[in-house]
Structure 1
Amino acid sequence: MKNKANILVIEDDHTFRSLIVTILEDEGYNVVEEQDGKKALETLRKRSFDLVISDLRLPSLDGLAIYRQAKSEGIVPPFILITAFGTVEEAVSAIKDGVTDFLTKPLKDPDTLRAIENRVRETTLSLFKEQELAGIPPDEVLFAGSAMSEVRKLIEKVANTPTTVLITGESGTGKELIAKIIHFRSERHKGPFVAINCAAIPENLMESELFGYEKGAFTGATQSKPGKFELADGGTFFLDEIGELNLSLQAKLLRFLQERTFERIGGQRQIQSDVRIIAATNRNLTAEIQEKRFREDLYYRLNVFPIHIPSLRERIDGLRLIVDYLVVKIAKQIGKNIISVDSEVYLAF
C-alpha cells in the first residue's frame, strides 16, 4: 500500500532537490518542491504537510527562519534542516528550537540518505497510527471508487483552513470518517476531536451537553461540568445529524458561530472556545428551511464549505476494495483467518 504523506522539499540547488524528490517519490510520497524561502512559507500557510525537508541557506528567507515563523503561526510540521555550511552551534540551536533533525551536505553517504528516508517513515507512520487509532481506514479504502475523487480534492483544499464545513450524504456513507480526516490533516490534529450526535441525545439534555452547566444551575447539578464546546477547545467539534437540533438550540449555535463565545447553563461568564466546526446531516436542509424547521441564517453559517459524500450505490467500482478491507479487519477482531472473499460474491455488485 503506497504512502500518501505530503512532504515539502525546500532547496535552491536544482540537482540536489531533484535527488531528494526522486528518493521520496520512489518511496511513494506526495512531494511539493519550492526553491525560495518566502514562497515556501506561503505554501506552508496554504496547505498541510506531514514533513518539511529544507536547506538552511535559501534565497529571501533561510530554512531556520521558515521553521521559526511557521512554528509561531502554529503551522509547522516535523522539520529536517540540511546544510553544507552547518556549525555545531547552529545544529544545537535548531534542535533546541524543535527542529526534528539537522543533516550536513554532501549527502553522498548512503547512511545519510537512509536517515532521511527513515525520518520520513517515522513521521508518516506516526500520523497514520493516529488515524488508525481514530478508526480511519487507509486512503485507498476511504476514497475507493471514482465518485470519491472530488471528495478527496475538497478535503485537501479545506483541511488546513479554519473554514466551517457542512458534510451531507445518506446514513452510512462515512460522514464522521470524513470529518476525522479533515481534523487529522489540519493544523489542529494535535488537539481534540469531539463529536456529538444531535439525534441521539434527548432534547432536554442537549443544551447542557453542548454548553455545560454551573454548580446549582438545576436540581442535581452538584458540580460544574464543561460542555462539548469547551472540551473541543483547540481542536475540532463535529456535530452529526445537525438537522435534528431544535430551533432554540439552533439560535444558540448561531450565536456561538457569530461571537465564538458562550455561557454555561446557570452561568454569567462569557467563555471563549477556539474550535473548528464541522457539521453533518442526511437531511435536505434547504427543504427543512422551507418547512420552517431549520434556520436559514444558521444554514449559511454552516454551509461555508459543503462536501457531499456519494452513496455506496455510486461507488460500485470501489466496493471490492472496501469489502476486502472490512473482511480482513472483522476477521482479525473475531479471531478468524479470512483473507479474501469468493470472486462469485463480487458478481452480485
Structure 2
Amino acid sequence: MDRGPLCARRADELRYARRRYLSAESARAIAVNVANATFAARSAELWGQGSTAVASDSTHVRAYDQNLLTEWHSRYAGREVLIYWHVEKKSLAIHSQLINCTASEVAAMVEGALRHGTTTDVEANYTDSYGQSKIGFGITRLLNFDLLPRIKRINKVKLHRPTAGNPDAYPQLAPALTRPIRWELIAQQYDQMIKYATAIRTRTASTESILRRFTRNASHPTYAAMLEVGRAEDCLRGPLLRVRDLQREIEEGLNDMESSNGANSVIAYGKGGEIASNRRDEQEMFLRCLRILQSALVLREHPDAPGRPR
C-alpha cells in the first residue's frame, strides 16, 4: 500500500491546524494550564510539600548561520539563540523566554519570576554564578523575593561595612570588609526605587528596558541607590550562602534545571535541535511547543496522573 499520499495529506492537515488554531499566546496558555493541572494533581504524601523556590538558567540552542537572529555567544563559543528557563524543584518548567545572547540574565530572571502565570508563588530564585550581581540583589529585594545564587570562590567575596566611623568593629572579618554602605543615598532615592519596582511589577516597563536605561547612564542616582541596596542584601545573604544545607538546596535546584535542559535536547531532535527560521514568531512557537511537551511528560510521569497506576 502506498502511504505517500496519505502522509502528505496528514502533513497538510497539521500545517493547516498550526496556522489556523495555534499561536504563541495560545501555546503559552496551554503550557500554563498543564503546569497548573500538575500542581493540582500533586499529592503531598507522595511528592512532599510544595516549594516556593525555582531555579533559572539559560540554555543555548543552535541556529543556522543564515538565521538573521543568530548571534555569537562568547561563553558557549558558538552561533545560537538563548532560551531562559524557570524550573521548579520537581522539574516542571513554569516559564520560558527567548532572549538574545547579549541580553541581561538578571532581567530574564526577574521577568520569569514575576510573569510565569502559574498558581505557584515564587519566593526565592536559584541561579548559577552568572546570576550573582549587586543590581540583581537590589532589584529582587525591592520586588520582595530572594536571590540565591551559587557563588564560585565564595571565600573571596567582599562584604561592606554596615556603618562608617567604626573600622575596628569586626576584627575577625577585617580581611573581607570594604567601604561602608551609603544609607543616605538609599534614603534619598527610596521613592524613585519604589517607582521603578512598581513599574516592573505592574508591567508598565520591562526589567530589560529599565536596566538598559541605567546601563547607558551608569551614574544615574537611582541606579547607584539600587546597587547600594544590593550591597546591603549581599551582606545579609552572603553569610547564609555558606550554610551547607542552603548550599545543598541551591545545588539540588540547579541540578534539576540541568536535568530539564537535558530532556529538552532529547525532545527537540528535529534538524539536530537547531532553529532554522528567521521569523521571531516561529522561534517563539518552537519555544512554546517545547515547553508544552516537557510539561506534558512531567504530568504523564506523575503518580496521580489519570490512568497511571500507583
The structure with the greater share of residues assigned to helix is 2
Structure with higher RCO (Cα < 8 A, 6+ apart): 2
Q: TM-score range by the shorter chain?
A: under 0.3
TM-score (norm 2): 0.23
Give 1 or 2 for the bigger CA radius of gyration: 1
TM-score by length of 1: 0.21
